[in-house]
Amino acid sequence: MAPLLQVENLTIRFPRAEPVRNLSFEAGEGETLAIVGESGSGKSLTALALMRLLPRGAQIASGRIAFDGRDLIKLDARGMRHLRGRDIGMIFQEPMNSLNPVMTIGRQIGEVLRVHERLTGRAARARAIELLELVRIPAAEKRVDDYPHQLSGGMRQRVMIAMAVACKPKLLIADEPTTALDVTIQAQVLDLLDTLRCELRMAVVLITHDLGVVAQWADKVVVMYAGRKVEEALPGDLFDNPLHPYTRGLLAASPRLKNDFHYRDGALSEIPGSIVSAGGETGCPFRPRCAEARASCGHHMPPLTVPAPERLVACPFTVPVEAMPHAAAFSL
């Protein structure tokens, strides 16, 4: 059985740069795929490409995005409008910027229902209340008439989730869904997303930089750097034995628990320098920041290899590190 979502060799181009290059991944029904990496690695741009909502000046230069047997790149604008909000839902990074400040949340949820479910009036309002209850907003019958500024950040994020799942989509794209939320609310939002994933059998593409989120909720992980996939693995394998130097750097820079459930002592490590531009550099894009770089790393872009079952890594000099902590050591 083919995966619900298959992205093959996706390249996104601006006039003078290619911020995403030859990216491939897939997600099956009911599966959570996490895409991780620093700001500037191309994660959010990839999410927008899946929705065909790239910013002005950007275009999909090559590749294929197959969703439920259809190539989204070849769909016309009308076909994509039909899919967005119905078969594919998306949660954007900033709910306050994504919600209309002069419309009640009930009307905004109702817009989704009107377009895709043909519900209007009382039926749309009743369904909006049901959705608010589904995402565990208290006093939903009253809150349905609130404006976004009357809600907390966590509640606004729940409204975004309600809108995204209103039509029971097959695929949900969550772009940093817990940004700017405190730790307790983060856990509640992610637990809610996971519950909805199970109930609706959705595939979830989770864009995040938080390794604690990855450890607890992902079924599969793709690590991106400078617009390319540098590693792919199951979460347990990734945390137990990271293969790419960039992945090891990310793990070393993240707080984690020791065996006695106290955070480890000492300062966190850091990856020196900053992410490279999306220009026309040659060789491995991580080379300027890599402590393990060799002269040959500047000659050719390393291809993805398969060092073990269900693993991919773009480094010819990778050395297994058996002493890294297990995924359970990472916590929200």
Q: What is the DSSP string of 220-254?
A: EEEEEETTEEEEEE-HHHHHHS--SHHHHHHHHTS
Structural domain ending residue among the three candidates 137, 166, 195 = 166
Residue type, 300: H
Contacts of 43 (CB under 8 A, 6+ apart): 35, 36, 37, 175, 207, 209, 224
- Indicate if 155 and 272 belong to the same structural domain: no
Greatest alpha-carbon pair distance for the chain in Å reads 68
- Indicate if 156 and 180 belong to the same structural domain: no
d(CA 179, CA 172): 17
Contacts of 70 (CB under 8 A, 6+ apart): none
Q: Which H or E run includes 110?
A: helix 105-117
> Within a domain: residue 318?
yes
Closest CA to 25 of 55, 48, 50: 50
- State the DSSP code for 84: B
Residue type, 295: A
Residue span of the structural domain in which 116 resides: 92-166
- Indicate if 147 and 289 belong to the same structural domain: no
Comparing 283 with 260, which gets the higher pLDDT? 283
d(CA 114, CA 104): 15
Q: Which region among 58-62, 179-183, 215-219, 262-266 has the lowest average model confidence (pLDDT)?
A: 262-266
Q: What is the pLDDT of residue 253?
A: 84
Structural domain ending residue among the three candidates 121, 145, 166 = 166
Q: What is the pLDDT of residue 264?
A: 58
Average pLDDT over residues 173-199: 85
- Indicate if 130 and 177 belong to the same structural domain: no
Q: What is the pLDDT of residue 84?
A: 93
> Within a domain: residue 138?
yes
Comparing 94 with 163, which gets the higher pLDDT? 163
- Indicate if 44 and 160 belong to the same structural domain: no
- Indicate if 162 and 174 belong to the same structural domain: no
% of the chain with per-residue pLDDT over 90: 63
Tell me: pLDDT of 79 over 90: yes
Tell me: pLDDT of 31 over 80: yes
Structural domain ending residue among the three candidates 166, 193, 224 = 166
Q: How many independent structural domains does the chain possess?
A: 2
